Structure 1
Amino acid sequence: MPEPELIASEQSEQDELLSSLQQESFAYFIHEINPANGLIRDKSRPYWPASIAAIGLALAAYPVGVERGFMTRNEAVKRTLAVLRFFTNAPHGPGSDATGYKGFYYHFLDMNTGRRVWNCELSSVDTAFLLAGMLVAQAYFRHETAEEEEIGKLADALYRRADWHWMQNGKAAVSHGWTPEKGFLPYQWKGYDEALIIYLLGLGSPTHPLPKESYTAWTSTYTWKKTYDVELLYAGPLFVHQLSHAWIDFRGIRDSFMREHDMDYFENSRRATFVQQRYAKVNPLEFENYNEHCWGITSSDGPGPVTEQVKGILRVFYDYIARGSPYGPDDGTLAPWAVVASLPFAPEIVLPTIENFERMSLRKAQMYGYKATFNPTFPVEPNREFGWVSLYHFGLNQGPIVIMIENYRSGLLWSLMRQCPYLLTGLRRAGFRGGWLES
């Protein structure tokens, strides 16, 4: 049995490692911002637009930054107010040159004007991430100052503005989005994916709520699978098992689907994490560097699109795509951030993998923590252990690193969202019972 001093030393080293990784990842939100309006760049490419999901993650990360000493409370208040004031006053209507409509917002916004770019969609899921960040801010900034009181009022008003019923487009499930040019997109959020938070926030709305039947439509298309002798609610990309969990503590609370399977969504994410590791150990497609301490497949940037002959094997490489395991698509591209974001679920396999990433120097020459993605199988010159490496970092990647490290260390975000009455209402209307929800 290890000596207590040795255990304490190892824990101290791990805590120091997590602290430095968290702070470096948080730096993305310090620098990739327009201070005038608080908008956060989608990725670290010059002149790239903002992403409303990245803005929501930044809002959720600011309380972590305050608590960990990465920024002052005054600075966090200033940035949060800038964002909330911007969305409160931004152009809102059915025109093509607006910021949002019906309480939802366009996926990508010009960093300076805050208006729609690229003819993108009014995004239901990315709006949910944005509103979740606003509700975190409302729960955290409760000091008796005029600025923090304003944060609470603006966040509340913006959440209440969202017309979830409209976003159903007359159907049972929620639409992926809408454009002024073509109307609603031909897809609805069905089956298990990152949209769980849509339904919980939509069901909890006091102004334009989703009906309970929408949640039934969502869960009715779930896929339960047995993979590597592990039974779980299946989704291939690892981020699906993380993003809603960044905000919500699913430990011990269950909806009717999970009661039928005698588990909860937290345990499901734990199982999905182990499936990812087992897939890397089996490595059926014989990719370079896949092993028990080098894994992590999710939606991510990649070296393609291109087809290359590599060591006698014809391989197809993708660019940005929803990679998944064990059923693919997979082209050998690994995303270290997705491993870190599984830390609360399976620390016994995530921590050794993080330590291996440190040995691989995955932070070397990077501004914001780990390389976003790398592909050791993709041929590059000169040859190097990492193979191809993404040129950019993404706000959608950096946020889960900061938030999920904190949920593992202190449960801060989970604690804050437990104080959100709208979320509690949404969970109960979705049929969740048990655990902390009963106390």
Structure 2
Amino acid sequence: MPAPPSASQQRQAARLSTSVVFKPTRTDMALIEDLEHRTFLWFWEAGDAQTGLVPDRYPSDQTQASVASIGFGLTAYGIGVERGYITRQQAIERTLNTLRYLTKLPQNNSAENSSGYHGFFYHFLNNKTGLRFNKDIELSSIDTALLMQGILFTESYYTQDTPQEAEIRSLSNQLYQNVDWAWMRRPDLRLSMGWSPEHQFLPNYWEGYSEGMMAYILALGSQKHPLEPASWQAWLTTNDRRWGEYYGQTMLNFAPLFGHQYTHSWIDFRGIQDDWNREKGIDYFENSRRATYAQRTYAMTNPGKWQDYGKDVWGLTASDGPGEVTQTVGGTPRHFMSYSARGTGRDYTQDDGTIAPTAAGGSVAFAPEIAIPALREMKHRYGNHIYSRYGFVDAFNPSFHTADKSFWSDTAYLGIDQGPILLMIENWRSGLVWNTMKRNPAIRQGLLKAGFQGGWLGNGIGAPASATHASAPEPQTSEPASQHANAQHPAQGEQGQTG
């Protein structure tokens, strides 16, 4: 492998990260509107209208539902209403069916006849029965947290004084309050990553900056089974050793971009700080903006010499891949991976030339001035190899070659990768999800117990963001596209393909 770039080279390549006021062109907005609609349609068409179960991946495999995908889906339906893709009544019916179904699923310690335990849900459920998919599947604290984010969104979005919307609020609160966070807490105050009847609590726990952040905030905000603030401090213990410069950005490192996106998809961290933030003079939103720039700079310097990497083709995160194959590329043996947590940071780099569009798409709210040009360039350069009925396929790899194919692209779309694209685009455009969650008492309570202060927490919705966010302006407003009330797709297309 080539030697990594020097510190001076990294700083020079990172200079583009200085504050920029981004003014999207009409072409940019046409792409964003089309991508948002197509990505919404994935949730609407992949989800079961009667049960609300949403598959982990679609259309390639419809056997297992992902509770995390359900959380993103419940949020997607509200976005669909505001954008005019579906009517409010359509969203109400799908949401009610989902919440009613989840409420009735069995919760017990059985290995086979259960969907969850202590209010937590199994990572994957059988898409037909709603039960644990198989004995390899754990009761997942983080996937339950992703589900609960969507559930709390419904509680705060459907606020009209009607019997159906009142039922949504009641069921949402019931499902959230049933989660026994204190049971999932280990003696050292940190949350376990999961539990199973066969092995009890997993040996791994949530510690340090990651998507685990949302689980702690949700747990701190619970009225029925809360964690205490000491658990937040236990989660923070590794932050200092992850803090440092990487590719010109001084930040709290987490290699795959999904860790910088998931919690932020629902919670607006601009201008609010916990004690650790205040010590470093940063907030978690600014940290994610820097992580986005670091990934782009990594691609521009391209230490691995992967094909097509550059200023507008970048993005490493957990995603599908070509498979566990070793090939000779440019005279050098290269190992390619299947699904893997690709990323780059001070802790590690895992990169096989696979680009996941959700890395840029889920970062639109952080750094639209680099994320949107990346989406535009990838769509322009690779066309229907990577962009089709439901927007961008999960991943592609221009470096992967076989005897008859010179480019690999996925045929699948994953709910946990589609979700950040949809939610973060809408947050950039209107702030819808962020502003809805600001009204949720559990989210506010969780943040306050974690020690967050300032910004909208102190001054209410509409308070200006921190002055450090010049490159990520206040969400752009855009009128709903009410002509799409029947969720008809703007254009048909072929599924992603290899070629």
| TM class, shorter-length | over 0.9
**Are positions 1:211 and 2:225 aligned together?**
no
CA distance in structure 2 between the partners assigned to 1:283 and 1:361 by the alignment: 20
Matches within 5 A, 1:393-408: 393-408=413-428
Q: Which moved further from structure 2: 330-339 or 360-369? A: 360-369
1:47 deviates by 3.6
Supply the distance in 1 between the matched residues of 2:62 and 2:72 (Cα, whole angstroms).
Answer: 20
Q: Distance in 2 between matches of 1:176 and 1:241?
A: 18
CA contact (8 A) 2:54 2:66 kept: yes
Instruction: Give the match for residue 252 of structure 1.
Output: 271
* Structure 1 equivalent of residue 400 of structure 2: 378
Q: Distance in 2 between matches of 1:188 and 1:50?
A: 24
**Could you tell me how far apart the structure 1 residues matched to 2:276 and 2:293 are?**
21
Aligned pairs, number: 431
- Any idea what SS the aligned residue of 1:333 has? coil
Q: Distance in 2 between matches of 1:438 and 1:408?
A: 22
Deviates more, 1:322-331 or 1:232-241: 322-331
> How much does 1:30 deviate?
1.4
Q: 1:240 to 1:363 in 2, by over 3 A?
A: farther
Q: Report the CA distance shift for 1:236/1:46 in structure 2 as closer, same or farther (over 3 A).
A: closer
1:334 matches 2:348? no
Give the counterpart of 1:190 among 195, 198, 207.
207
2:48 maps to 34
Partner residue, 2:437: 417
- In terms of mean alpha carbon deviation, does 200-209 or 33-42 score higher? 33-42
Q: What displacement does 1:34 show?
A: 1.8
* Partner deviation per Cα, 1:30-77 (whole Å, 9 max, x = no partner): 111222211001001244210000000000111100000111111111
Match of 1:12 in 2: 26
Asked whether the equivalents of residues 362 and 371 of structure 1 are also in contact (C-alpha less than 8 Å), the reply is no
1:132 and 2:149 are equivalent in the alignment:
yes
Q: TM-score, normalised by structure 1?
A: 0.96
Deviation at 1:381, TM superposition (A): 4.4
The one of 344, 347, 355 equivalent to 2:376 is 355
Report the more deviating stretch, 264-273 or 92-101: 92-101
* DSSP 3-state at the match of 1:34: coil
1:276 is the counterpart of 2:295: yes
Measure, in 2, the Cα distance between the counterparts of 1:337 and 1:9.
Answer: 22
Residue 263, structure 1, aligned to residue 282, structure 2? yes
Find out whether 1:109 has 2:130 as its counterpart: no
Greater relative contact order (CA < 8 Å, ≥ 6 in sequence): 2
In the TM superposition, 1:77-156 aligns within 5 A as 77-96=92-111, 97-119=113-135, 120-156=137-173
How far apart are residue 281 of structure 1 and its match?
0.4
What amino acid is the match of 1:175? S
Structure 1 window deviating more from structure 2 (80-89 vs 168-177): it is 168-177
CA distance in 2, matches of 1:342, 1:9: 16
- Where structure 1 has 5 or more consecutive residues not aligned to the other structure, the ranges are 1-6
Shift of 1:27: 1.1
SS, match of residue 344 in structure 2: coil
Q: State the secondary structure of the residue aligned to 2:288.
A: helix
SS of residue in 1 equivalent to 2:388: coil
Asked if 1 retains the 8 angstrom alpha-carbon contact of 2:63 and 2:128, the reply is: no
SS of corresponding position for 2:413: coil
Residue 445 of structure 2 corresponds to residue 428 of structure 1: no
Contact kept, 8 Å, 2:56 with 2:62, in 1: the verdict is: no
Deviations 1:361-401 (A, max 9, x none): 444562210121001111134444xx111121101111111
Is contact 1:363–1:370 with CA below 8 Å preserved after alignment?
A: no
State the SS of the aligned residue for 1:178: strand
Q: Do structure 1's residue 57 and structure 2's residue 79 form an aligned pair?
A: no
CA distance in 2, matches of 1:121, 1:362: 38
Q: Secondary structure at the match of 1:165?
A: helix
Q: Distance in 2 between matches of 1:391 and 1:236?
A: 25
Unaligned runs of 5+ in 2: 1-20, 460-499
Change beyond 3 A, Cα 1:434–1:42: same
Equivalent residue letter for 1:240: G
CA gap of 1:351–1:135, structure 2 versus 1, over 3 A, is same
SS at match of 1:191: coil
In structure 2, what residue type is equivalent to 1:156? Answer: N
In structure 1, which of residues 344, 354, 369 is the aligned counterpart of residue 391 of structure 2? 369
- For 1:55 and 1:302, the matched residues in 2 are separated by 24
Contact kept? 2:22, 2:368, Cα under 8 Å: no
Deviations 1:307-329 (A, max 9, x none): 11122011111111111114311
Provide the aligned C-alpha RMSD in A: 1.5
8 Å contact 1:102–1:161 — kept in the other structure?
Answer: yes
For residues 224-263 of structure 1, the aligned pairs below 5 Å read: 224-263=243-282
Structure 1 residue matching 2:57: 3-state secondary structure: coil
> Is contact 1:34-1:112 (8 Å) kept?
no
Q: Measured at CA, do residues 8 and 317 of structure 1 come closer, stay the same or move farther in structure 2, by a change above 3 Å? A: closer
Letter aligned with residue 11 of structure 1: T
Provide the C-alpha distance between the structure 2 equivalents of 1:354 and 1:406, rounded to a whole number of angstroms.
15
Contact persistence 1:362–1:370 (CA under 8 A):
no
Identify the match of residue 316 of structure 1 among 324, 328, 335.
335
CA distance in 2, matches of 1:10, 1:221: 38
Task: Choose which of 304, 307, 313 in structure 1 pairs with 2:326.
Answer: 307
Structure 2 counterparts to residues 171-182 of structure 1, below 5 A: 171-182=188-199
What letter is aligned with 1:117? F
Q: 2:211 is matched by which residue type in structure 1? A: E
The verdict on how the C-alpha distance between 1:100 and 1:10 changes in structure 2, with shifts beyond 3 A counting, is closer
Q: Which runs of 4+ in 1 moved over 6 A?
A: none
Aligned-partner Cα distance in 1 for 2:23–2:49: 40
The question of 1:48 aligning with 2:63 is answered: yes
Q: Is the 8 A contact 2:248 2:294 kept in 1?
A: no
Instruction: Report the alpha carbon displacement of residue 105 of structure 1 after superposing the two structures with TM.
Output: 0.2
What corresponds to 2:490 in structure 1?
none
Q: CA deviation at 1:10?
A: 5.6
